[in-house]
Amino acid sequence: MKRLLLVVAGAALLCGASPTNAVPLSRLSLRERLSTAPASTVVRLGTRTVTLGQLRAAHNAREVYLEKAGTFGLNAAGLLQKQKPVVLKVASKGNVGRNLGPILSSNAVVEPPSQYASAPADMKAFCSNAKASACLYLPPQQQVSPWNGAILDQDGLIDQSTCQNEGGSWAQWFSFGGYVCGFNYPTSVVVHFTPSSSYKLTQTASCDKSVWNYQVDVHGAISIQANPQYYASFTTGNNPTCVLRVTLGG
């Protein structure tokens, strides 16, 4: 039910509520935003309008997903483990793209946690538990926008302390007309590794291709990048993540 509410909220954010008697969000206290003002109250966010009920639904869902991000990461790791890996090597006839059975993961490339250490708390929990060779994450079913080389998710219903604890940035955002929390998610990642002498490796991937694309260079690099759509606002799907596991040899 919460997921359905959030989908509706995301659509409403894109379409906009009636601007009649819209109140700038900055004029409402945090308590009013969270509970005391009627859910039907229409607020203005920059040039857009939305009801408080829709903002509350998006906020509540973000908090739920934050609590479950680590579990989602474990699920992603399990999914990669179950997949049949594909062997890649320097192009040679009849070898690229061959499916293999289960392989040992002792030679798996693991992305250094330092690469997502400054990400919001939900992405850190997800990527830490996914233990992937490369990992990118966005919160599910949220309207996000490009901002300063990152993908931005804003929440005007948490205080400064909570914002900092969850890995957000407390700042005065024009779109909200005041100080609110912004969560900045990276749009790309590159992980370098030392290739095997044969340049052969195997890979598995679980990736929302509507958001991300990825490449593996057998000479020692894995990259994930956001698709060009991130240059405009969009609503994320049910699992807007991308994880790859690369194992040397095979």
Segment 51-82, tens digit of pLDDT: 999 889 989 988 999 999 999 999 999 999 99
Q: 6-9: long-range contacts (C-beta < 8 A, 24 or more apart)?
A: 6/57, 6/58, 6/61, 6/140, 6/141, 6/142, 7/141, 7/235, 8/54, 8/57, 9/54, 9/55, 9/57, 9/58, 9/61
- Model pLDDT for residues 127-137, shown as the tens digit of each residue: 999 999 999 99
- How many other C-beta atoms lie within 10 A of the C-beta of residue 44? 20
Model-level pTM? 0.81
Of the chain, the percentage scoring pLDDT greater than 70 comes to 82
- How many other C-beta atoms lie within 10 A of the C-beta of residue 113? 11
Pairing mode, if any, of strands 23-24 and 42-45?
A: parallel
Q: Name the residue range of residue 196's domain.
A: 2-248
For the chain, what is the domain count? 1
Structure tokens at 139: 């919160």
- Model pLDDT for residues 127-184, shown as the tens digit of each residue: 999 999 999 999 998 989 888 889 999 898 999 999 999 999 998 876 666 788 999 9
56 with 34: CB under 8 angstroms? yes
Give the start-end residues of each E strand in 89-240.
98-99, 134-137, 143-147, 150-155, 169-173, 178-186, 188-192, 201-207, 212-217, 221-226, 234-235
- Model pLDDT for residues 21-53, shown as the tens digit of each residue: 788 888 888 999 989 999 899 988 767 788 999
What residues pair up with 245 in beta bridges, in sequence order? 204
